[in-house]
Amino acid sequence: MGKKELGVAFLLALRSLQRGSRSSVVLTVIIIAMCFTNMVFLPGLFNGIGEGIITQIVDYEVGNVLVAPKSGEQYVTDLDATLDRINSMPGVARATPHFSKGATLKYRQRVLGVSVKAIKPGDEKYVSPLYSKMVTGSYLGEDDTGEVIIGKPVAGDATIKQEDEFQASLGGVRVGDAITIEYGNGYTKDYRVKGIYSTGWSSTDNNVFVTWSDMELVEGKPLDYAEYITVKAKPGYDEKYIKDTLQQYGVTEYVQTTGDLLKKAMGSVMQSFAIINMVSLLVGIIITTVVLFIVITIKTLNSRRQIGILKAIGVDKEVIMHTYGLQVVIMSLLGIFFGIIITALIGVYLSVNPIVTPEWSATLYLTPLDYLTNSLILFMASVVAGYVPAYQVSREDIQSAMRA
Amino acid sequence: MIEITGLRRTYRMGAVEVKALDGLDLTIEKGEFLGIMGASGSGKTTLLHLLGLLDQPTSGRILIDGLDVSTLTDYEKTMFRLYKLGYVFQDYALVPDLTVLENVSLPAMLRKDRTEEQVTKDSFSILQKIGLCDRKDHLPRELSGGQQQRVSIARAMVNKPDILFADEPCANLDSENSRMVLDLFREINEEMKQTIIMVSHEDWHKEYFHRIVRLKDGKIVSDGLNEKKHAGQGTG
Ligand SMILES: Nc1ncnc2c1ncn2[C@@H]1O[C@H](COP(=O)(O)OP(=O)(O)OP(=O)(O)O)[C@@H](O)[C@H]1O
Ligand SMILES: [Mg+2]
């Protein structure tokens, strides 16, 4: 098969698409584009949901590496020394402790049970974007006392009546208002609301935060222990590497990467996603294959005499085969191209208008590799679907083809 | 030169055997304009297809310029048809999606010994010959039957074949267009010394042939020079 033969096959293929039945070409291309979209959309959405959840878990729950008490213990002890040790490790951007205590909030007639979290505001900034999520007021200062920041759903909305509320709140707390916090140990104190935040991550939005110094007052002693420490990695450092170094350098606490935690938490979810992805992939491939097979088979059957004539005037059977095969190649490339455009447009739309639920928000998450593998899979499937009938018709004996 | 000896072609339809060609011996000289005539079903198309390497004889031998064509492989036969033979069919058989120019160029484009410029040059010169240069960008369906058949002749001639085969090329044409096509054949035959083997069952066509072979039930019943024609050629 030389260059000239391929050139002639390409010319015949192109002209047949251009000047043959337009509607059949357009429909075929649309079907392939739709199959492509179907193949990448659901997996992309699931990836988007997964990525969104993972980002929020990293941001608001565990950082890149979570240091938790060793088994049998309630707290990470010897906190200052542990923090110093972790912070001095290569690859660690910052480690920050967390300590929470059950409490009851009181504001006017409202009472609400929440978990009050103590943080070191300065360090927390390196690990969590909470500071950037203030909707009114401002974030906690390092040594603030008597100040609290609260999540938007906790603050509530004064315009909504209590019985109409989706979830219980304080009924419209505003920055500067005073709220009373009564801790589980009986310690009670009035705090000024310094800021109200909204992260979109529901468990954080249902918390309130006070400074570490304030919590020491609650505990009545210096807080040299924490429930857990979250660690942020410097850019370019692998979580696993940090976990290994921490363990190697004598951090005896229970160290887990986000990956470790997600594997436990999301394993079964990911499995269900994988099954749905596989089904949508198979459906896409099968529809594309069947449609192309039918289109090309009809085309070849309708042009049997034509094919006989071409052979008679000295066109080799390889050229005939590629004439029909290349039509499929061209249509499938066009289909995949439009499929990529369609999914990219949906992706752009979703990034501007994410699918939002109270628990998470999601955009379409597709990497160039996803596009590439799906394109290749679909392309291969269509080439097979097109070349099988093309091969068959090209082998037909001249006499029977010409008399068709 | 084509030499045929003991040519037989039998079609087997279940228990029935149809002897489409029943032992033909024939020699066709270079530059001849040969007419094959005979009633419907007498084996004209079968003979043409065998000579044109579109079909295999049941027995017998065909030598083209001394070459026993039965020794050629499938691919070699394809190349032989591309380089040495030209075909004109009753129904024109142009590629409907190609323009006139593309149809005519098609066989030339496949030849390894032709540059792109040569293909263009040859295609234009043959289009000029059939007088359809101004229609080069038209599709076959936009032409009349006579014009389409002239395009089909141009396609057959673009590679300057040794032998041109035509199976009832005028069957779908009125007498005026038939004459146009036959005049074109005569011109090609005379100017280029082109061997032409043409099947026809119109009696008046024979004035164009040098020699007429008549078939009946797969056998040659007469084979004679067209006296008037030859006399004309002799003096012309
Ligand atoms: N594929 C085939 N299978 C069976 N019989 C065939 C086949 N092709 C031709 N025949 C028979 O062979 C004989 C000669 O056929 P052929 O087509 O050569 O005739 P012809 O002289 O060209 O006729 P016409 O003038 O009608 O075109 C006929 O009896 C025909 O029925
Ligand atoms: Mg016939």
> Cβ contacts (< 8 Å) between A5 and chain B: which residues?
110
Look at residue B56 and tell me if it is in a domain: yes
Residue A259 burial (10 A CB sphere; 0-12, 13-18, 19+): middle
CA B120/CA B104 separation, integer angstroms: 10
- Taking the CA of residue A41 and the nearest CA in chain B, the distance in Å comes to 37
| Three-state secondary structure string covering A42-85 | HHHHHHHHHHHHHHHHHHHHHECEEEECCCCCCCECCHHHHHHH
What is the pLDDT at residue A173? 92
Look at residue B121 and tell me if it is in a domain: no
CA A384/CA A286 separation, integer angstroms: 12
Q: What is the DSSP letter of B41?
A: T
Which residue of chain B has the CA closest to A21? B97
Verify that A326 and A205 share a domain, yes or no.
no
With CB atoms and an 8 Å threshold, state whether B106 touches A313. yes
* Ligand nearest to the CA of residue B18, numbered in listed order: 1
What is the pLDDT at residue B234? 40
Look at residue B102 and tell me if it is in a domain: no
What contacts A306, CB < 8 A, 6 or more positions away?
Answer: B93, B95, B96
Residue B87 at interface with chain A, using a CB cutoff of 8 Å: yes
Series of mean pLDDT values for 10-residue runs along chain A (404 residues): 91 94 92 90 84 86 90 89 90 93 92 94 93 94 92 90 85 92 93 93 91 93 93 90 87 86 77 83 87 88 90 94 94 95 92 75 83 93 92 91 80
Mean pLDDT computed over every residue of chain B = 92
Residue B140 at interface with chain A, using a CB cutoff of 8 Å: no
Look at residue B183 and tell me if it is in a domain: yes
Verify that A36 and A85 share a domain, yes or no.
no
With CB atoms and an 8 Å threshold, state whether A311 touches B102. no
Verify that A36 and A78 share a domain, yes or no.
no
Average pLDDT over residues B27-40: 95
Domain span holding position A96: 70-252
CA B42/CA B7 separation, integer angstroms: 14
Task: Please report the DSSP string for A141-200 in residue order.
Answer: PTT--SEEEEEHHHH--TTS-GGG-SS---SS--TT-EEEEEETTS-EEEEEEEEEE--S
Look at residue A260 and tell me if it is in a domain: no
Question: Ligand 2 centroid vs A374 CA: distance in angstroms?
Answer: 53
Verify that A44 and A82 share a domain, yes or no.
no
Query: Beta-strand (E) ranges in B73-218?
Result: 85-88, 163-167, 195-199, 211-216
Verify that A27 and A116 share a domain, yes or no.
no
CA A255/CA A249 separation, integer angstroms: 12
Look at residue B113 and tell me if it is in a domain: no
What contacts B154, CB < 8 A, 6 or more positions away?
Answer: B104, B123, B126, B127, B129, B130, B132
Average pLDDT over residues B34-49: 95
Beta bridge partners of A63: A231
* Ligand nearest to the CA of residue B46, numbered in listed order: 1
Residue with tokens 């096509």, as numbered in its chain: B181
Q: Where a domain ends, among A197, A227, A252?
A: A252
Q: Is the Cα torsion angle A116, A122, A124, A128 positive or negative in sign?
A: positive
Residue B9 near ligand 1, beta carbon < 6 Å: no
Q: Are A240 and A257 in contact (CB under 8 A)?
A: yes
Instruction: Tell which residue, A235, A198, A214, has the closest CA to residue A94.
Output: A235
Find the CB nearest A309 among B52, B83, B93.
Answer: B93
Please name the residue whose Cα sits nearest to atom 2 of ligand 1. B11
Residue with tokens 């609301």, as numbered in its chain: A193
Look at residue A334 and tell me if it is in a domain: yes
Which residue of chain B has the CA closest to A318? B75
CA A41/CA A311 separation, integer angstroms: 44
pLDDT tens per residue, range B111-136: 999 999 999 999 999 999 999 999 99
Mutation for testing the A interface, residue in B51, B89, B97, B118 having most A CBs under 10 Å: B97
Phi-psi region of B31 (alpha: psi -120 to 50; beta: other; left: phi over 0): left
Which residue of chain B has the CA closest to A1? B110
3-state secondary structure of A319: helix
Please name the residue whose Cα sits nearest to atom 31 of ligand 1. B41
Find the CB nearest B75 among A4, A305, A316.
Answer: A316
Q: Where a domain ends, among A199, A227, A252?
A: A252
Verify that A77 and A101 share a domain, yes or no.
yes
Question: Ligand 1 centroid vs A335 CA: distance in angstroms?
Answer: 46
Residue B200 near ligand 1, beta carbon < 6 Å: no
Verify that A202 and A301 share a domain, yes or no.
no
CA B88/CA B150 separation, integer angstroms: 9
Average pLDDT over residues B47-71: 95
Question: Ligand 1 centroid vs B230 CA: distance in angstroms?
Answer: 31
Q: What is the DSSP letter of B223?
A: E
What contacts B150, CB < 8 A, 6 or more positions away?
Answer: B130, B131, B132, B180, B181, B184
Verify that A354 and A228 share a domain, yes or no.
no
Verify that A42 and A75 share a domain, yes or no.
no
Verify that A226 and A337 share a domain, yes or no.
no
Is pLDDT of B231 > 70?
no
What is the pLDDT at residue B235? 38
| Total number of domains constituting chain B | 1
- Chain A residues 15-44 with CB within 8 Å of chain B: 15-16, 18-20
The ipTM assigned to this model is: 0.91
Average pLDDT over residues B52-59: 94
Look at residue B134 and tell me if it is in a domain: no
Q: Is the Cα torsion angle A141, A142, A146, A148 positive or negative in sign?
A: positive
Residue A399 burial (10 A CB sphere; 0-12, 13-18, 19+): middle
Q: Are A338 and A330 in contact (CB under 8 A)?
A: no
Phi-psi region of A149 (alpha: psi -120 to 50; beta: other; left: phi over 0): beta
With CB atoms and an 8 Å threshold, state whether B107 touches A7. no
| Total number of domains constituting chain A | 2
Q: Which of B8, B42, B202 for a ligand 1 pocket mutation test, highest count of atoms within 8 Å of Cβ? A: B42
CA A188/CA A207 separation, integer angstroms: 18
Domain span holding position B29: 2-94+161-230
Q: Where a domain ends, among A190, A219, A252?
A: A252
What is the pLDDT at residue A119? 95
> Cβ contacts (< 8 Å) between B86 and chain A: which residues?
313
Residue A7 at interface with chain B, using a CB cutoff of 8 Å: yes
> Cβ contacts (< 8 Å) between B75 and chain A: which residues?
316
Instruction: Tell which residue, A404, A402, A388, has the closest CA to residue A321.
Output: A388
With CB atoms and an 8 Å threshold, state whether A15 touches B106. no
Q: Name the residue type at position A161.
A: K
Verify that A248 and A282 share a domain, yes or no.
no
Look at residue B60 and tell me if it is in a domain: yes
Q: Are A137 and A175 in contact (CB under 8 A)?
A: yes
What is the pLDDT at residue B232? 45
Look at residue A27 and tell me if it is in a domain: yes
What contacts B214, CB < 8 A, 6 or more positions away?
Answer: B37, B38, B220, B221, B222, B223
Q: Which atom of ligand 1 is nearest to the CA of A400?
A: 1
Measured from the Cβ of residue A370, the count of other Cβ atoms closer than 10 Å reads 16
Look at residue B152 and tell me if it is in a domain: no
Look at residue A257 and tell me if it is in a domain: no
Which residues, chain by chain, have CB under 5 Å from ion ligand 2?
B 45
Find the CB nearest B97 among A16, A315, A319.
Answer: A16
Look at residue A391 and tell me if it is in a domain: yes
- Chain A residues 289-318 with CB within 8 Å of chain B: 305-306, 309-317
What is the pLDDT at residue B209? 95
> Cβ contacts (< 8 Å) between A399 and chain B: which residues?
49, 54-55
Residue B46 near ligand 1, beta carbon < 6 Å: yes
CATH value at residue B23: 3.40.50.300
Question: Ligand 1 centroid vs B235 CA: distance in angstroms?
Answer: 39
Measured from the Cβ of residue A310, the count of other Cβ atoms closer than 10 Å reads 25
Verify that A196 and A341 share a domain, yes or no.
no
With CB atoms and an 8 Å threshold, state whether A314 touches B85. yes
Residue B40 near ligand 1, beta carbon < 6 Å: yes
